[in-house]
Structure 1
């Protein structure tokens, strides 16, 4: 008998809370591990009428033979065969490109940190010539802060280019971006569900570390210092902006990150993350469990698919 739901996942631990919530609600689901998967492009079958993608951009840190690009083909195939795919191939395509994210955000009229995009490390210096240091060089595809290095001067960046120590992106696209000082030493992550505000947290950043993953599994990583996270209610215009960004992406569930530029108070959006692990210890931080809301939305999607 076919399950109502299939969950395409990669990390062995991150989705245990989701799986537990689905089991509590009695939802029949199939957990599909991305790492050892294959598919027949001539097949007309799908694993379930509703499929939830939980593909992590940081998977390349765990497996050199990661499935990030494979997953785009797989999700597109399932959608073409009639499945309702939550966070499908089009969403994953935005998730895999910080350059596309920034273009989408600015196209909606919102501010981002000043950025230049290149496809060769040798072009970083020329791209940064009209920018003010310190600067960040970012991999276009990152995850858990991977592939971000801060440079204090042109000489420092030039030496890194010569030595071949600049970040590397698995798609060979790099961003050079101004280092915008975050007011209060915090960034804000707004989680959305079905294009609407779900909750927001402030995450403390010291300015030197860029691994700000709020999930339980990230916090449990060996040697990782505790990160201060606080539930907040952003200003209405910021909530509206995050919702518009999520809707423009077509993101069924995911986060939008921003900082308030301490130089002028401008909200600057810099990341869209379609993999929502949700905040660690949600009952302590939020007072409720967002997995239950996600399951509500999945149940609704299953009902709509059955009624179609």
Structure 2
């Protein structure tokens, strides 16, 4: 019989080493299920039962940018089979559908009472220019675009005039979204040049990360992979350590945002209601006094500089949480054997 372990479902091996270290440190057996063409999974015997263990899905909405266009479909097939088989799944199929749709995130957040950005979803490209005129009331009001299936700042651009937007849509630079859905969204201005990302594991608040946006970057991924110079949708991902002396770090702990913070408590209830066990939720405090929640990232990554000073480690919290689930499931099966 295969020794029960935590199986991590993903498609980007570059993101896995911090998690492997965390699981090893916590003494929790772990194995990757790499959902790529020729990856670790390979195939599923649909007549068989899954190997004993806990299955944690951390599929990314940006998988297609790494040449893994079909990983989302592989994940849908795998998670459906696991759930029908009664396996313990963390961030299951319903969470995958939320990860790959900002439209779905927007609707759930709004229905839960959060302040969300005014947004229009546009299907295809032929209606974009007319939709932008409706969105702005025909005036040259700044707005941004995003891809519905996003991550990595995909499709995020600022436009100050309709003529600028028209020229972009008609140009070779136009970045078509993988699912054909472009979002038009109001431009939010932060009270101070940062956004905040609140991290949760197993229904509990881990910490809040202050992400500096003073350089105007839309590329806010806190992982190691984003700590190199690159241009995504016309915005530069800043390199930690290269800021001017005295400038804030790109990523740092926001100590005043604690588990008792009213927004954190509201987010905790929201994630529990949606059965999302692991997530990072981003929000912005604006110049006009709003606190706007705009992104739920369910395959969260952790910045190494933040982890070095954080009172609790995000990856180790995940290892402990999934390890506890593994112990509970295995103890239950051993008792009934």
Deviates more, 1:200-209 or 1:162-171: 162-171
Calculate the TM-score normalised by the size of structure 2. 0.84
| Deviation string, structure 1 residues 231-272 (Cα, Å, up to 9, x no partner) | 11337221123213322332111111011121x111111100
CA distance in 1, matches of 2:315, 2:68: 30
* Alignment correspondent of 2:291: 267
2:278 pairs with 1:253: yes
Match of 1:89 in 2: 93
In the TM superposition, structure 1's runs of 4+ consecutive aligned residues that sit over 4 Å from their partners are 220-224
Residue 241 of structure 1 corresponds to which residue in structure 2?
A: 266
SS at match of 1:281: helix
C-alpha root-mean-square deviation of aligned residues, in Å? 2.1
| Mapping of residues 113-262 of structure 1, within 5 Å | 113-132=117-136, 133-163=141-171, 165-206=173-214, 208-220=216-228, 224-226=238-240, 228-232=250-254, 233-234=256-257, 236-262=261-287
Partner of 1:55: 59
Worse-superposed segment, 22-31 or 187-196:
22-31
Q: How high is the TM-score relative to the length of structure 1?
A: 0.92
Distance (Å, rounded) in 2 between the aligned partners of 1:284 and 1:194: 21
Deviations 1:41-67 (A, max 9, x none): 633321333101121222211115340
Question: Aligned equivalents of 2:179 and 2:306: distance in 1?
Answer: 34
Which segments of 5 or more consecutive residues in structure 2 lack a partner in the other structure?
231-236, 241-248
Structure 1 residue 206, shift from structure 2 partner: 3.2
Aligned partners of 2:252 and 2:305 also within 8 Å: no
**CA distance 1:102–1:120, shift in 2 (3 Å):** same
| 1:181 Cα deviation after fit | 0.6
CA distance in 1, matches of 2:250, 2:71: 32
Structure with greater Cα Rg: 2
* Count of residue pairs the alignment pairs up: 307
